[in-house]
Each structure stands twice: as C-alpha cells, then as structure tokens.
Chains A and B, each alone.
Chain A
Amino acid sequence: MMTKKLISILFAIILVLGMSTAAFAEEQRFVFDEASILTYDEIEELNARAKEITEKYGCGVYLVTFENLQGYEPWELNEMVYAELTEYYNSGEDVVILMLAMEERQYDILAHGYGNTAFTDYGKDVMAERFLDDFADDDWYWGFSDYLDTCDEFLGMAASGEPFDVHSEGDSFGGNLFGVLIAVIVSCAIALVVCLIFKAQMKTARLATEAHDYQKQLNLTGQYDRFSHRDIRRVYNPPQDNDNNGGGTTVNAGGFSHKSGGF
C-alpha cells in the first residue's frame, strides 16, 4: 500500500517537474506550481528572482506547490521533491525549498547542505512569520515574494560569515531600529506623565465627589464571606526546548532541516 502511494507521489512529482521542465526547456526552473495558484507572469517573475539569488549565492532556492499531500507529512513530501531535484534537475545539494500543499493548507521549508548553514532553525521561524500573513490572506504571490526576499537576506548574511540566527536581530539594523523606537516611545510616555502631573497643578477648581471630611465611623450591621465555588484550570505546558536559544540548525539523519506548519 505504502509502496503504491510512494510510486504515485513520485510520479506526480516527476510529472510536475517534468512538465515544467518540458515547458521551459530552455532554462532551469525554480518555481513549480502544480496547484496553479500563480499566473504565468507571476511564475516568470518569481522564477527570475529565484534564479538570480541561486546564481548569486550558489544555493538553490525553490518554490513548489501541490494540490495535496497525498497522505504524506509535509516534510516527507518535501524531501521527495529534493530527491527529484537533485536526481533529475541537477540542483545540487545546497538548497532551500518552500513547499505548499493547498488542500491541507500545510507548508514545509526544507534546507540541505549549505542551506542548513544559511537557514538556521530560528531563521526558518522568522522566514515563516514573514510569509504566513500573506498566505493566510491567500495572497500567494506576495508570500512567495517575501520568501525570496528573506532567502536573499539570509544567504547574504551567511555569505558574509554571520548567518541569521537568534543573536542576529539585536545586531541588525531592524533590531536596533525597533529598540530605538521602543526607547523613544517609553521616553515620550515618561515625559508626558511628568508634564501632565505639573499641568494638573494648574487646575485646582474641581467638583467634590465624596464627603470623607464629614463622615463618621462606618457602622457595619451585617456581613458575611461565604465560599461559593472552586475553579481549577489545567493548562498543558511542557518544558520549553531550549536548544534553539543557542541558535544553530537541527538536522535530521538525512541531512535535512525543516520548518513545517499550517497557513
């Protein structure tokens, strides 16, 4: 049963990649849209950008969409895509592949070889954050565009010797800008509070709302505090995997690293 399924999916991959290759035989393809969610112009534009990034950094940047997962886990299917790309399309072992399955609305980011260096676990988390908001709105082109931009940025950082990782953001311009922005907002809030305290001294004519200066002792004639009920909430909260805190990339036995999820 499993073998039949595997053969069918491999056939689907070969068909997708093969058809795409036949259609654009004159050049190497980086965008494979089996689910037909992109227009011809969009495919061409994204393909050109992916090709440029691939050639610039020597790491294959791919986009693949399927109609469904055919019963496989996203990471399994993506590893099959990798196998096809390396075997039949000479992609090389240094790749990053974003795969989408439209029926299940699942995605997987696969990195291999140099891709594991450039796309750390944390880097893949950040990358996913950038495109997921577009995919949530079914805005496929802009989601893929964000993916390619992120690939360009992370490969560029890796090329300079400092791959994007947990410690990168604080040093990056964006991280600094965010920090400065927070510092400015907090400083303004503090200054405003101080100014408003001084301003309040300028207005002292106020209507009285209470009569504490004229009240006697409160005479309590009755009181009780009765237990009503007990409410227990149990929230599953397993210990956090702290491996990521130190950064780096988690690679499986096949030499792949993944980031999967829904969109």
Chain B
Amino acid sequence: MAIDITNHKCPACTGPLHYVGESGMLECDYCGSKYSVEEIEKLYAQDEAEAVEGFAVNEEKKEKEKAEFEAMGMEWSEEEAKGMKTYSCPSCGAELICDATTAATSCPYCGNPTVIPGQFTGGLKPDLVIPFKLNKDQAVKALENYYKGKIFLPKAFKEHNHIEEIKGVYVPFWLCDCEMGGSAMYKGANVRSWREGDYDITETMYYNVMREGKLGFEMIPVDASTKMPDAHMDAVEPFDYRELKPFSTAYLPGFLADKYDVSQEASMERIEGRARNSIKSEMRNTVRGYSMVTTEMENFDFENKGVKYALMPVWMLSTKWKGQNFLFAMNGQTGKLIGDLPVDKGKFWGLFAAIAAPLAIISSVIWILL
C-alpha cells in the first residue's frame, strides 16, 4: 500500500516533532532541536506530496476492493461500515484506525504525531489556521481556575474529579464574510401627562419611523464538525483573527485535526440567523427619542460575500462524575474556558434558605413594629 500518512521527524535525531504554541516552532522532545514552520514545510514538502498521492491511490484502491467485495457478495469490514479509515504508522508500522474525517492524530502504539495530508488537498485544504498558543498544562490550570468561585459546585466533584481525557483539536470552521441589508418600520410614541381641573390628561404623540441600511460582517465563525457540540464551539468565541495564518500542516503535529463534515450550505442558516439578529438590534438602537417603540415590520436580505475554511485551536477536556460526562472547551488561543458544571442541590437550597430566612425575619419584624 502506498504511503498516505506522514510523521514530522526531527532532522537531527529522527525523534517526533510537535508544534509548540509558546515558541511558535516545531520542537523535538528528544534532542531539543527547534525548527520554524517554514523550515519544516520545506523539508516535508516532498513527503507530503507523496502522502497526498498515496492517499489518492489508496482511496482508489479501497473503492476498487469494496466494489470487488460487493460483486463477490461479501460484506464490508466493521471499520468500513462505520465510515472509519485505516492507515499504517510510518514509524512503527502499526495499523491506525481513524474516523473518516481525521486529518491529524497520534499513533496509539508509538505515540508519534501523524498527519494525513490527503485530507487537506484540493477543495478540502483550509485557507487559514490559528495555531495553538496555549498548552495542555495551561488548559488543566484553566479548568482548575474555572471551578473556583462556583459556590454550587459539589465538593466531591472538585476534590475527586480527574480529567478523563484532554486533547488539543484543530476544529474546522467556516468563516463567512457577509452583509445584511434592508429596512424596518417602527411605531414611536411619546407620552405626556398633566392635570386640568378634575381631569387627568394623557397626550400620546405617535410617529412612523423608518430605517434602511446595510451592516457588513467579517468572518462570522461557525464550526464545521459534527463531532463538536455547537454550543461549546460558539461559547469559546471570539478568536483573535489578527493571528490567522495561511494553512500549513506543520502546525498540526502534536494535535488532533479533523476535516469538515458540515458543508458551507448547511452552515449558512446559523450564520444568517446570527447576522439577522445583529442587524435587528443595531437598527432598533438607532430609533431614539421615544418613550415607547414597537417594531412593525422588518425586512432584511442576506448576502454571502465569501467563505473561508479555517482550523481553530480548541482544547477539549472531559471528566466523568456519577456516571455523567462533563465536557469543557478552552479556546487554544485566548484561554477562554467554558462548560457546564453539576449543581449541588443541597448547596442551592442551603444558600436560598440562608438568604431568605434572615431577610424574611427582619422584614417581618420591621412590618410588625411599624
């Protein structure tokens, strides 16, 4: 079988290289050598080209085998049935079984970071990438800090909680440039009251208000992986786009990466929804000088100005407690960590009682005394 996977090895000692966010370089754990992304790109250009070619050959070969299997009335293997793919580790020769979308992983046997460049060829090649800036230890520390100040967090969760899995993932995102344009009609009203003799007079002046305009958006992100929960990926935003770089596989060693499996078209609904809500509130904010405003009509059109494909760095941390999984995500660039925590009902109602009881007693006494 042709080679369809590459290991980025240290040119000095052949040890595995991995990308280090702090230095922005690929480093060797064994001899400590450091290489810039450009140097590694140059060194591995030939290997990657061969791996891409090998990936295409193997894909073709696998399709052919499948067709032959089917013609012979034989069933597909379990891995193939699940949409999995198999690769051979170039370091130790072990068989790697990966998801169909996996683009970077590590060998479970020798631990060497591996990249499957064939997943990023042609139209599948990301335009941009934000490299990891924060490492695993910082992610663990961030999670510990996240627990602090959470007064409803069960004590046992904090004390006996062990991170089951932590992985740095380059998550595929669509970044959409777009524009919303249109108009909205509002009814504004100003109310004035005064007294004339024994009558209360209320005067209401009504106005028809129209606003028409356009609002541009630059790179609204939406995650393009079904493996990643949308709420987690939305919540780790925003990323600092000033650090976007042209894509290179040299940023991938040491991390996991997936290619997208949610199409641009499928992602547009979420992008358009966010843009629509933003222009609605922006337009509404321009209607000033009224004591009451009601929206009567809104009509906005969405225009897609172009979509870029990017990989964004996210640390995924998962823990298990009382049989339930808790998933946390940390922005691998900014360090923003989010995730849902369990609530100790005893602490919740304890605090409720601690506030309500004294308040009720004090206010009751005041009521009775007055």
**Chain A residues engaging chain B, CB cutoff 8 angstroms:** 176, 179-180, 182-184, 186-188, 190-192, 194-195, 198-199, 201-216, 218-239
Contacts and interface: CB of A to CB of B under 8 A. Distances in A.
A227 B230 contact: no
B164 interface: no
A222 B213 contact: yes
Contacts of A184: 356, 360, 364
A121 to B, nearest CB: 22
A228 B207 contact: yes
Contacts of A232: 201-204
B97 interface: no
B159 interface: no
Contact of A210 (B209, B229, B274): B274
B122 to A, nearest CB: 28
Contact of A216 (B215, B237, B343): B215
A219 B340 contact: no
Given A209-B274, A235-B199, 6 more contacts: A215-B282, A219-B215, A223-B286, A227-B206, A227-B207, A233-B203
B220 A211 contact: yes
A234 B206 contact: no
B87 interface: no
B153 interface: yes
A206 B235 contact: yes
A231 B206 contact: yes
Nearest to B281: A210
Interface residues of B, number: 76
Contacts of B152: 198-199, 202
A3 to B, nearest CB: 38
Contacts of B235: 204-206, 208
B231 A205 contact: yes
B351 A194 contact: yes
A204 B353 CA distance: 25
Given A183-B360, A202-B152, A210-B278, A235 B200 contact: yes
B212 A229 contact: no
B340 A237 contact: no
A204 B277 contact: no
Nearest to A233: B202
Contacts of A239: 198
Interface string B179-191: 0000100011000
Contact of A228 (B151, B206, B282, B367): B206
Contacts of A212: 278
Interface string B193-236: 00110111111111111111111111111000000011110110
B242 to A, nearest CB: 13
A225 to B, nearest CB: 5
Nearest to A181: B364
The winner among B237, B339, B359 for most chain A CB atoms within 10 A is B359
B214 A221 contact: yes
Interface of B: 149-153, 183, 187-188, 195-196, 198-221, 229-232, 234-235, 237-238, 271, 273-275, 277-279, 281-283, 286, 289, 327, 329, 338-343, 348, 351-353, 355-357, 359-360, 363-364, 366-368
Closest 4 CB pairs of A and B: A222-B212, A191-B356, A187-B359, A191-B355
Contact of A203 (B204, B281, B340): B340
15 contacts: A176-B367, A182-B367, A183-B367, A188-B360, A191-B355, A205-B231, A209-B274, A222-B212, A223-B210, A226-B207, A226-B209, A228-B187, A229-B206, A232-B203, A233-B201
A187 B203 CA distance: 38
Contacts of A198: 150-152, 351
B343 A202 contact: yes
Contacts of B273: 209
A69 to B, nearest CB: 30
Contacts of A228: 187, 206-208
A230 B206 contact: yes
Contacts of A203: 340-341
Nearest to B338: A204
Contacts of B153: 202
Contacts of A188: 352, 356, 360
A232 B183 CA distance: 31
B215 A208 contact: no
B198 A236 contact: yes
A213 B153 CA distance: 31
B359 A190 contact: yes
Nearest to A220: B213
Contacts of B214: 218-219, 221
B200 A204 contact: no
Contacts of B340: 202-205
B188 A225 contact: yes
A238 B286 contact: no
A186 to B, nearest CB: 7
Contact of B339 (A205, A207, A222, A229): A205
